[in-house]
A and B are shown apart, each in its own frame.
Chain A
Amino acid sequence: MMETWWRALTFTLGYNTSLVTVGAMLLAAAAGMVGSFVLLRKRALVSDAISHSTLPGLALAFLVMGVWQGDGRVLPALLAGAAASAALGLWLVQRIGERTRLGEDAAIGAVLSTFFAFGVVLITVIQTLSVRGQSGLTGYLVGATAGMLYSEALLIAACAVGLLLALLVWRRDLLLLCFDADFARTQGFDTGRLDLLLLLLLMAVVVIGLKVTGLILVVALTIIPPVAARFWTDQPMRMVALAALLGALSGYLGVSLSSVREGLPTGPLIVLAAFTLFLVSFLFSPRRGVLASLLAYRRLRQRVHLRQGLLALGRDEPIFDGLTLKLLQRRGHVRRDGVATPAGLAAARDAEHEERLWALYRRRYPDDALHREHAGLTPIGQVLSADAIMALEAELPPAETAR
C-alpha cells in the first residue's frame, strides 16, 4: 500500500496516472488562484452556485449526445453544456443581487437549489430512457478520475494551463478590483467587466474541475487553499501564489492517494488533503494561527500580571493572585513567603517610574500615544528617543511620598 502510494507520488505508476496527477495539480493551482481573488472580493460562495448550476446543462448535453450519438459521455460536449447552464445561473445570481432587494446569499441559495433540482429532474428523465453510459453521469457528482481517458486528462490539463496564463496576465487588474473597486473606477477601469472576467474565470475552473472532483466538491478547491494561504501572508500576490501552491499540493496528494486502492474517490481525497493543509495553517501559522495567537495572549497576560504585581510591590500592597505571585517568584522579585526582595523593590521602582512616564506621555501627546502602543507595557526606552525621555523626566512631578 505504502509502496503503491510512493510510486504514485514519484510518477512511476504509469503514464495515465501521471497525466491525471499533473492535470489535477494544474487545475487545483488555477482554482486556488481564482479563488484567492474571489475570497478577497468576499464572494467565496458564488462558486457554490456556479458548480450546482452546471448540473442541468450537463444532463441536457448528455441527453442530446445520447440521442444523437448513442452514448452521452462526450467530455467536450458535456463541458460546453455545463458552462452554458453555469453562465445562466451566474447571470441570475448577479441580476437578483443587483436588481432586487434580496441579498447575495439568498440569490446563491435560490439559484443553486433550483438549478440542481432541475438537473435531478433531467437525470430521472435520462434514467427512463435507454442511453448508454448513464453511470458516467453520476461521476460528475463526486468526481471520478480512475476511468479518465487520455484525451480527457489532456483536455483538462490544457484548459488549466490556459487559465493559469489568463490569471497571470490579468492579475493586477483583478487585484485592483478586489481591494478598491471605487478607485479602479476612477482610474478608468470598467469594474463591471472586470467582475465579469473574474466570475468567468471562476466558472471555467469549476466546469473543468467537474470531472476531477465532482460538482459538489469543486467548490472546496476554490475556497480552502485561498483561506489557508491567507494565514501565511498579508501580501495579496504572495497569497495568490501560495494558494496556487497549496492547491497543487492537495491535487498531488489527493490523486496519488486515490491510486493506492481500487475505488477510492479522487475528489474527496483532494478536498481532505486541502483541508489538512488548511488545518495546519489554521493551527500553526506564525502570523494568524491559533497557536501563535494563544502564545501571544499568554505573553501579554504574563506582562500585565508582572507589571501589576511590581506596582503592587512598590505600593507595599499584599498580592493574592496566584499567577502574579508565581511570576514574581520566578524572577526573584519576591521570596516564597511573599516578602519583596531588594531586587524586587528595585524592579518595582523601575516599573512605577516607567508607568508614570507613560502616563505623562499619554497626557502630553495623546495622539502620538494612540499610534504607538496601547498597553504601555513596552519599556518606554524602546519607543521614545533618549532626548524625549529626558524631557519627560524633567516634567515629571516629584514622587508624592518618600518610602
Chain B
Amino acid sequence: MNEFMMFSLVPLTVAIIISMTCALLGNFLVLRRQSLIGDAISHVALPGIVVSFLITGTLASLAMMLGAGVAALVTVVLIELIRRLGRVEGSAAMGVVFTSLFALGVLLLEWHGAGGVHLDVEHALYGNLESLIWFEGSGLGALFDPVALADLPPQLGRAAWVGLVVVTFVVVMRRPLVLASFDPDFAASMRARPALVDLLLVTLVAVAAIAAFEAVGSIIVIAMFVCPAAAARLMTNRLGAQIAWSQGFAVAAAVVGYLLAGEAPRWLGFEASLSAAGMIATVAGLILLAACLFGPCRARTGSAQRA
C-alpha cells in the first residue's frame, strides 16, 4: 500500500485526469472532424519548448508551457493563413505547418544538443509519467497531512487546474459549442458566434495538450483526443451519453494501461517496466477497436445494415 501511495497514486491520478480532460474535448473534435488538430498541436509543442528554452535558458514549467502555447497559437494562425490565402486544402495546410515546425524544433535541439541540455525528442514523445513520485506519500495518513500534501508533484495540481478549466468551459459554453459543432451555419444565423467558439475550443485543446504534454508526453495526448471520443461515438446517438461513455473509456484506458505497464512484464516473468503512457494509449486504441467491431451505433446512418 505504501509503495502504491508513493509510486503509483500520483501518476495514476494525473493519467486519469488528463485522459478525461482530453477525451472531453475530443468529443467535439471528433464531431467536427477536426481530430487531427490535437495531433498538430502536440507536434509543435516541441519547437515551442525548445525556443522558449533558448530564449529564457530555463526548463521551468511556466516558460515551457508559455513557449508551447505560443507555438500552438502560431500553428493555428499559420494553418488558417495558408488555407485561406493560398487556397490549400485544410488537412494539407496542417501537414505543411506542423511538420515544418517540428523539423525546426528538432534542428534547434540538435544544434544546441552539444551543450548537454536535458531535453530530447524521446522525452517529449514518451513523457515521464513514472517519475512523478510522491516521496512523502508514506501511507494513507499522508493524504490528510498538509506537510506531505505540499510535497505532491506540481504536475498533479496543474493537471487538475486544466481539467477544471476545461470542464467549466464545456459546461458554460455547452449550447453554443454543440450548436457550432453540429451546424455552424445555423449557429451563425443565431448569433452564436461559431468562429469565436472554434477559436476557444482550439485554445483549450492547446492548453490541455500542453499540460498533458509535460506530464505524460504527446502520444497519449493524441490518443486521448481521438480514441475514447471516437469509441463513444459508436456507442450512442446522443451527445450527453457520448460524453459519459468517453469519460468512462478514458478512465478505463488510464487505469488498465497503467496497471498493464507496471504488471504485465512481471506476469511474463521478467523484471521491467514498460512505458505507461504508451500502454495507456494502446489500451485506448484497443477500446476503439472493440467499439468498431461491436459498438451498437457503429454503422453510418443510412448505410445498409449487415448481419
Interface positions of A (Cβ within 8 A of B): 39, 42-45, 47-48, 95-96, 99-103, 105-106, 108-121, 123-125, 128, 138, 141-142, 216-217, 219-220, 223-224, 226-227, 230-231, 263-265, 267-269, 271-272, 274-275, 278, 282, 288, 290, 293
Q: How far is the CA of A262 from the CA of B300 in the complex (A)?
A: 54
* Contacting pair A268 B279 (CB below 8 A): no
Among A117, A128, A216, contact of B272 (Cβ-Cβ < 8 Å):
A128
Using CB atoms, name the residue of chain A closest to B33.
A103
Q: Which residue of B is nearest A125, CB measured? A: B274
The answer to the question of B125 belonging to the interface, with a C-beta cut-off of 8 Å to chain A, is yes
Residue among A108, A112, A124, A265 making CB contact with B107, cutoff 8 Å: A265
> Is there contact, CB below 8 Å, between A113 and B219?
yes
The answer to whether B151 has its CB under 8 Å from any CB of chain A is no
On whether the beta carbons of B274 and A121 are closer than 8 Å, the reply is yes
Given known A-B contacts A105-B36, A113-B285, A268-B103, A223 and B301 have beta carbons under 8 A apart: no
**Contact assessment for B99 and A220 in the assembled complex, using a CB-CB cutoff below 8 Å:** yes
Residues of chain B lying within 8 A (CB to CB) of residue A115: 285
User: Of residues A115, A119, A120, A264, which shows the largest number of chain B Cβ atoms within 10 Å of its Cβ?
Assistant: A120
Q: Which of B256-307 contact A (CB under 8 A)?
A: 261, 265, 270, 272-275, 277-282, 284-286, 288, 292, 295, 297-301
Contacts A110-B230, A263-B114 given: A227-B275 contact, CB under 8 Å? Answer: no
* Interchain residue pairs with CB less than 8 A apart (22): A45-B91, A95-B292, A100-B292, A102-B292, A105-B33, A109-B222, A113-B284, A114-B288, A117-B278, A117-B279, A117-B281, A118-B282, A120-B125, A121-B282, A124-B275, A219-B99, A220-B103, A265-B106, A267-B103, A269-B107, A282-B85, A288-B86
B222 touches A112 (CB 8 A): yes
Q: Using a Cβ–Cβ cut-off of 8 Å, how many residues does chain B contribute to the interface with A? A: 70
A293 contacts B104, CB within 8 Å? no
Question: B223 touching A113 by the CB < 8 A rule?
Answer: yes
Residues of A within 8 A of B207 (CB): none
Interface majority SS (helix, strand, loop, mixed), chain B: helix
Cα A117 to Cα B233 with chains together (Å) = 22
B214 within 8 A of A: no
Instruction: Tell me if B279 and A121 are in contact (CB < 8 A).
Output: yes
A147 to chain B, nearest CB (A): 14
- Cβ of B92 under 8 Å from chain A: yes
Name which residue of chain B comes closest to A261, CB basis.
Answer: B111
Q: Contact check, B85 vs A293: say whether CB atoms are below 8 A apart.
A: yes
The verdict on B247 contacting chain A, using a C-beta distance below 8 Å, is no
Q: Which of A117, A217, A272 has the most CB of B within 10 A?
A: A117
In the assembled complex, the Cα of A357 lies from the Cα of B265 at a distance in Å of 85
Please name 19 further chain A to chain B contacts, defined as beta carbons within 8 Å, in addition to the given A105-B36, A106-B230, A112-B39, sorted by A numbering.
A39-B89, A99-B299, A100-B299, A102-B233, A105-B91, A106-B33, A114-B282, A115-B285, A117-B220, A120-B278, A121-B261, A121-B279, A141-B122, A216-B102, A227-B96, A263-B113, A275-B100, A278-B100, A290-B86
> Which chain A residue has the least Cβ–Cβ distance from B125?
A120
Q: Check B110 for interface membership: any CB of A closer than 8 A.
A: yes
The distance from the CB of A264 to the nearest CB of chain B, in whole angstroms, is: 7
Contact B95 A114 (CB under 8 A): no
Chain B positions within 8 Å of A106 at CB level: 30, 33, 35, 226, 229-230, 233
Chain A hits for B126, CB < 8 A: 120
B121 within 8 A of A: yes
* A45 adjacent to B95 (CB under 8 Å): yes
**With A45-B91, A105-B35 in contact, is A271–B99 under 8 Å at CB?**
yes
Q: B279: which A residues are within 8 A, CB to CB? A: 117, 121
B227 CB–A CB distance under 8 Å: yes
Find chain A residues with CB under 8 A from B69 CB. Answer: none
List, in ascending order, chain A residues with CB within 8 A of B277's CB. Answer: 117, 120
Residues of chain A within 8 A (CB-CB) of B99 are: 216-217, 219-220, 223-224, 271
A231-B86 contact, Cβ under 8 Å, with A216-B43, A264-B111, A268-B107: yes
Distance in angstroms between the alpha carbons of A197 and B193 in the assembled complex: 43
CB distance from B167 to the nearest CB of A (A): 22
Q: In the assembled complex, which residues on chain B have CB atoms less than 8 Å from the CB atom of A105?
A: 33-36, 91
Report yes or no: A101 in contact with B233, Cβ–Cβ below 8 A: yes
| Residues A102 and B272 in contact, CB atoms below 8 Å apart | no
**With A and B bound together, what is the CA distance between A138 and B124 in angstroms?**
13
Which single member of B87, B102, B282 contacts A288 (CB below 8 Å)? B87
